[in-house]
C-alpha cells in the first residue's frame, strides 16, 4: 500500500483548459501508483466520462470537499504512450487548445468510448491437406485462385496483408474455402527478421542520379527535416519507399501522411506491392473498429508502416524510424475546426523529439517550408527531372480581354482542344466552379438569386434544375420567371463545369466528355471508374475542378486549359496567390506525363501580372521566391507569426464586441509587439444566418503572440459574452 495519499490529474474531453483532480477508485489497493497514459472512468457532474490520467500528484488545486473518487481504471498498461502524451501536451500548448480535447482527438472513437480493443489472433490462410496433393496447375481456370494456390505452395501461409497485396478478394477466399482448398490457421505469423528480403515484396526501382543523391542525404540516426522539392513525375514516391525500407531494415516503423485526396487505392497499392510488412491504414474511410485495431497494431509495433491522412499524425508507435509527409503544402494537413493543428508541423516536432528523419515532399512547397529550407532549418533536396521520357509541359497565358468566350473558352483554347482531339489525345478544361452558372438574375428589374441565410449568390444547377448555395446546404427549385417583377425570362452569367460540359457535347458531338466534380463523383468508386475509363487512352475531353488537380496519373493528357486563372489574384487573403500558383502547377503537372510534351493554356484578363508571368516563364520555385520577397517586405508569415481569433453569432454585434474585447485585452496588457487587424468580417460574412468576424494577429516574436493569446483566453474564461458567442483560436492559420 502507498504510504502517502495521491491524486489523479485527469484530462477529460471537455473544452476547459484544466486537468481535473480525483481520488483513486475506492477498491484501488495496488502497491504501485497508476501509470500516466491509462484511461480512467470518472463521475463528472451528473454524468460519467472517460478521461486519461496525465499525472499522479500529491497536491490538489481545488477544495478537498469537491474531490470525488474515480470509478475505475480501464487499462492495465498505458493507452497513450509516453511519447504521444507528451506530443499532445505540446500541441495543447502550441495550439492553445484544451488537453482533454487534444487527447480525445488522438484516440479512435472506440477508445474514447472506453472499449477494450483486442486484436484477433492474426488469422492466416493455409492449404488443406487435400489441396496440398493437387498438381500445381490444378486451378488454372480461375486466375486469382490459381495465384493464391501457387503462393501457398511456395509459402506456408498467407496473411490478410499478403492476400491484399496479391489482390485476392474475400469472394475468392470464400469460394476456395467452400471447396475445401484452404482453411484458417490460427498459428501466429512467424516472427519476421529485418532482412531486406523479408521486407520487400518486389525489387526497388533503379534510381536516377538525382534520386540516388537525395536518398544518400537522408540520415537516420538523428533529427533531420528535409524538404524534398521535386517536380511532378520526378519520382518522389520511389525516394520515400527506399528511405522507408532503410528505416524498416533497422527494425523501426515508418509513418506516412498523405493528403485526403491523394489517399487513393492506387497509392496504397504501391506500398502493398513494395513491402511485405504489416501496413496499418488510418483515415476516415476505415471503419471505427478497423481503425481502433490498426491504431493498436501501430502502438504495439506490429504494423511496420502506418499510412494515413492528417489524423494519423497522432498515431502511437513503438519505435518510429522515419516520417514522410507527401504533398506537404496541401491544405488538408491543417484541421479547420475544433483542435486546429497542422499535421505537418506536429510531425516535425514529433520527429525532433524522436530524433528521427522527416521528409516533406512536394512539387510546390509551402512558402513556410521553402523559407525554412533557405534559412537552413530544413535540408533542401531537389529533383528537377521527370522520370522516363516525359518532359515538363509548356505554359502560356492567353489574353482574354476583348475576347468573345464561348462556354468560358477563348477561340484559341477551343482550337487547341480541337487539334488535341484530332491528334487522338486528351484535353482537360480546368475550372474551379461547380454547377451551371454562378449567377441567376433578371434582366428586366435587376433581381438576383441570393441565399437568404448567407447573402451570397445562389449557383444555378441545371440537372436537376436547382438553386444551390455553395456555402450552406440550402437548395431550392430554380424559378422560371422573375419572383420580383414577374418578367418571363431569367438570365444567367458566368460558367460552371455543368455548362462547360454541355457546350463541349454540342461542339464535339462524337467525342466522349467527362465531367469530374463533387456532383458527378458522389461516392469514392465513381472517380476510380472514370479515371480507369480515361486511362484506356482514347481521345476525350475532361471538364473538372480541383478534384482532378492532384496526384492522378493521366497518361494520354496533352492539353490543360485553365479558364479562370485570375480567381486567385483578386482575393483579399494574402495566401490565395500562393495557393493559385500551387494549383496551376499541380494541374499543369497532369499534362504530358506520357512521351508527348504537354501544353498548358492559362486564360487571364491580366496576363501581364508579374506573379503569373514569373510562374509561367520561370516556374513555381522562382514564383515562390518572388512571393517570399513580398511577404518579407510586408512582415507577413513566414516572416512573422500569425494567429486568427474567429467569432460567429446570429447577432452580428456579439461577434464584433467579443473581438473588440480581445483587442482591448491585448492593448491594455504589455503585449506591445502584436499587430492587430480587425475586427473584420470574414471572407464570407454570413453563413447559415450566422455572422462571422475575425481578428488577425501578427507578431515578430512568437512568444509574445503566444502570451497575448493566453491573456485573451484568460479574460474570455471569466466573461459572459464569450459563452454566448462561438469563438475559436487558429494558430498559424492557412486561410484568412
Q: Does 5 bind DNA (CB under 7 A)?
A: no
**Which whole-number Å values give the CA distances from 6 to 2, 17, 31, 44, 590, in the listed order?**
8, 22, 12, 19, 61
16 binds DNA (CB under 7 A): yes
Spatial CB neighbours of 61, under 8 Å, sequence gap ≥ 6: 18, 21
Q: Which residues pair with 468 in a beta bridge?
A: 459, 475
Which of 58, 61, 66 has its CA nearest to residue 42? Answer: 66
Phi-psi region of 114 (alpha: psi -120 to 50; beta: other; left: phi over 0): left
Could you tell me which of 665, 661, 666 has the C-alpha nearest to residue 727?
661
Q: Is 720 in the site for DNA (CB under 7 A)?
A: yes
Query: Nine-digit cell at 489?
Result: 425570362
Is 61 or 493 the residue whose CB approaches DNA more closely? 61
In whole angstroms, give the CA distance from residue 301 to residue 442: 64
Please report the DSSP string for 364-403 in residue order: S--HHHHHHHHTTSSEEEEE-S-STT--PPEEEEEE-TT-
> Residue 12 or 642: which CB sits closer to DNA?
12
Largest Cα span, the chain: 88
For position 18 contacting DNA by CB under 7 A, the verdict is: yes
Strand partners for 56: 8
Which of residues 28 and 220 has its CB atom nearest to DNA in the complex?
28
Sketch the per residue contact string, 187 through 226, with DNA: x for CB under 7 A, - otherwise.
----------------------------------------
- Site membership for DNA, residue 44 (CB under 7 A): yes
465 touches DNA by CB under 7 A:
no
Q: How far is the CB of 712 from DNA (least distance, A)?
A: 16
Nearer to DNA, 6 or 44 (CB): 44
Quote the least distance from Cβ 107 to DNA, whole Å: 15
Among 321, 276, 319, which residue's Cα sits nearest to residue 300?
Answer: 319
Beta carbons of 242 and 206 less than 8 angstroms apart: no
Cβ proximity to DNA, 351 vs 644, nearer residue: 644
DSSP state string for 457-505: BPEEEETTEEEE-SSSS-EEEPPSS-TTT--S--EEES--HHHHHHHHH
Choice between 534 and 687, CB closer to DNA: 687
Q: How far is the CB of 42 from DNA (least distance, A)?
A: 7
d(CA 342, CA 212): 30
Which CB, 108 or 230, lies closer to DNA?
108
Q: Interface residues for DNA in 45-74 (CB under 7 A)?
A: 45-47, 60-62, 66-68
Q: Is 718 in the site for DNA (CB under 7 A)?
A: no
43 versus 388: smaller Cβ distance to DNA: 43
Pick from 6, 14, 86, 405: which binds DNA (CB under 7 A)? 14
Measured at the CA of 327, the angle between CA 324 and CA 330, to 5 degrees, comes to: 120
Q: In terms of CB distance, is 475 or 650 closer to DNA?
A: 650
Q: Which stretch binds DNA (CB under 7 A): 36-44, 197-205, 368-376, 453-461?
A: 36-44
Work out how close the CB of 9 gets to DNA at its nearest, in angstroms, rounded to a whole number.
8
Q: How many residues bind DNA (CB under 7 A)?
A: 22
Which listed range, 10-18, 232-240, 426-434, 506-514, lies at the site for DNA (CB under 7 A)? 10-18
Q: Which residues bind DNA (CB under 7 A)?
A: 14-16, 18, 20-22, 42-47, 60-62, 66-68, 720, 723-724
Amino acid at each position: 500500500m502507498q504510504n502517502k495519499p495521491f491524486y489523479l490529474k485527469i484530462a477529460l474531453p471537455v473544452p476547459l483548459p484544466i486537468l481535473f483532480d480525483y481520488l483513486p477508485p475506492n477498491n484501488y489497493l495496488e502497491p504501485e501508483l497508476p501509470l500516466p497514459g491509462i484511461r480512467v472512468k470518472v463521475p463528472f457532474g451528473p454524468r460519467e466520462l472517460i478521461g486519461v490520467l496525465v499525472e499522479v500528484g500529491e497536491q490538489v488545486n481545488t477544495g478537498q470537499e469537491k474531490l470525488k473518487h474515480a470509478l475505475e481504471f480501464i487499462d492495465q498498461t498505458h493507452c497513450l504512450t509516453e511519447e504521444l502524451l507528451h506530443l499532445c501536451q505540446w500541441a495543447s500548448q502550441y495550439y492553445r487548445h484544451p488537453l482533454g480535447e487534444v487527447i480525445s482527438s488522438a484516440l479512435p472513437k472506440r477508445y474514447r468510448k472506453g472499449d477494450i480493443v483486442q486484436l484477433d489472433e492474426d488469422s492466416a490462410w493455409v492449404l488443406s491437406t487435400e489441396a496440398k496433393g493437387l498438381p500445381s496447375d490444378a486451378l488454372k481456370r480461375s486466375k486469382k485462385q490459381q495465384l493464391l494456390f501457387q503462393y501457398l505452395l511456395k509459402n506456408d501461409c498467407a496473411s490478410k496483408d499478403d492476400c491484399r497485396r496479391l489482390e485476392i478478394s474475400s469472394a475468392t477466399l470464400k469460394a476456395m474455402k467452400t471447396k475445401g482448398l484452404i482453411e484458417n490457421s490460427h498459428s501466429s505469423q512467424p516472427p519476421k527478421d529485418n532482412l531486406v528480403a523479408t521486407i520487400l515484396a518486389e525489387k526497388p526501382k533503379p534510381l536516377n542520379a538525382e534520386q540516388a543523391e537525395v536518398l544518400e542525404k537522408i540520415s537516420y540516426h538523428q533529427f533531420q527535416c528535409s524538404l524534398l522539392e521535386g517536380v511532378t513525375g520526378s519520382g518522389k514516391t520511389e525516394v520515400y519507399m527506399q528511405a522507408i525500407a532503410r528505416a524498416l531494415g533497422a527494425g523501426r516503423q515508418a509513418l506516412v501522411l498523405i493528403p485526403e485526396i491523394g489517399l487513393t487505392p492506387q497509392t496504397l497499392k504501391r506500398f502493398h506491392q513494395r513491402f511485405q510488412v504489416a501496413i496499418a491504414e488510418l483515415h476516415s474511410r476505415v471503419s471505427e473498429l478497423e481503425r481502433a485495431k490498426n491504431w493498436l497494431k501501430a502502438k504495439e509495433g506490429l504494423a511496420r508502416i502506418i499510412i494515413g491522412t492528417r489524423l494519423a499524425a497522432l498515431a502511437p508507435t513503438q519505435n518510429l524510424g522515419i516520417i514522410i509527409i507527401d504533398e506537404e503544402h496541401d491544405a488538408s494537413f491543417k484541421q479547420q475546426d475544433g483542435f486546429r493543428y497542422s499535421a505537418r508541423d506536429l510531425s516535425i516536432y514529433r520527429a525532433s523529439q524522436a530524433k528521427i528523419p522527416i521528409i516533406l515532399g512536394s512539387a510546390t512547397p509551402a512558402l513556410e517550408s521553402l523559407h525554412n529550407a533557405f534559412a537552413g532549418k530544413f535540408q533542401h533536396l531537389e529533383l528537377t527531372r521527370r522520370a522516363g521520357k516525359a518532359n515538363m509541359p509548356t505554359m502560356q497565358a492567353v489574353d482574354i480581354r476583348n475576347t468573345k468566350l464561348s462556354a468560358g473558352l477563348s477561340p484559341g483554347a477551343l482550337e487547341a482542344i480541337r487539334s488535341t482531339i484530332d491528334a487522338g489525345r486528351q484535353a482537360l478544361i480546368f475550372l474551379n466552379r461547380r454547377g451551371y452558372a454562378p449567377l441567376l438574375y433578371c434582366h428586366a428589374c435587376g433581381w438576383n438569386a441570393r441565399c437568404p441565410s448567407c447573402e451570397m449568390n445562389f449557383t444555378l444547377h441545371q440537372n436537376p434544375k436547382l438553386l444551390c448555395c455553395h456555402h450552406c446546404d440550402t437548395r431550392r427549385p430554380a424559378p422560371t420567371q422573375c419572383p420580383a417583377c414577374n418578367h418571363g425570362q431569367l438570365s444567367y452569367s458566368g460558367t460552371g463545369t455543368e455548362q462547360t460540359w454541355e457546350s463541349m457535347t454540342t461542339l464535339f458531338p462524337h467525342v466522349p466528355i467527362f465531367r469530374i466534380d463533387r456532383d458527378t463523383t458522389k461516392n469514392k468508386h465513381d472517380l476510380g471508374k472514370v479515371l480507369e475509363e480515361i486511362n484506356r487512352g482514347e481521345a476525350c475531353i475532361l471538364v473538372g475542378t480541383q478534384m482532378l488537380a492532384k496526384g492522378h496519373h493521366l497518361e494520354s493528357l496533352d492539353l490543360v486549359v485553365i479558364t479562370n486563372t485570375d480567381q486567385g489574384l483578386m482575393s483579399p487573403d494574402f495566401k490565395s496567390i500562393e495557393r493559385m500558383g500551387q494549383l496551376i502547377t499541380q494541374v499543369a503537372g497532369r499534362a504530358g506525363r506520357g512521351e508527348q510534351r504537354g501544353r498548358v493554356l492559362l486564360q487571364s484578363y491580366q496576363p501581364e501580372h508579374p506573379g503569373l508571368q514569373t510562374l509561367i516563364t520561370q516556374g513555381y520555385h522562382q514564383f515562390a521566391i518572388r512571393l517570399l520577397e513580398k511577404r518579407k517586405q510586408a512582415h507577413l508569415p513566414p516572416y512573422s507569426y500569425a494567429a486568427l481569433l474567429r467569432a460567429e453569432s446570429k447577432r452580428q454585434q456579439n461577434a464584433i464586441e467579443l473581438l473588440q474585447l480581445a483587442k482591448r485585452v491585448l492593448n491594455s496588457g504589455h503585449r506591445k509587439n502584436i499587430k492587430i487587424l480587425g475586427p473584420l468580417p470574414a471572407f464570407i460574412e454570413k453563413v447559415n444566418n450566422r455572422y462571422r468576424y475575425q481578428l488577425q494577429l501578427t507578431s515578430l516574436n512568437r512568444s509574445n503572440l503566444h502570451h497575448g493569446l493566453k491573456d485573451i483566453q484568460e479574460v474570455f474564461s471569466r466573461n459572459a459574452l464569450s459563452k454566448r458567442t462561438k469563438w475559436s483560436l487558429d494558430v498559424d492559420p492557412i486561410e484568412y
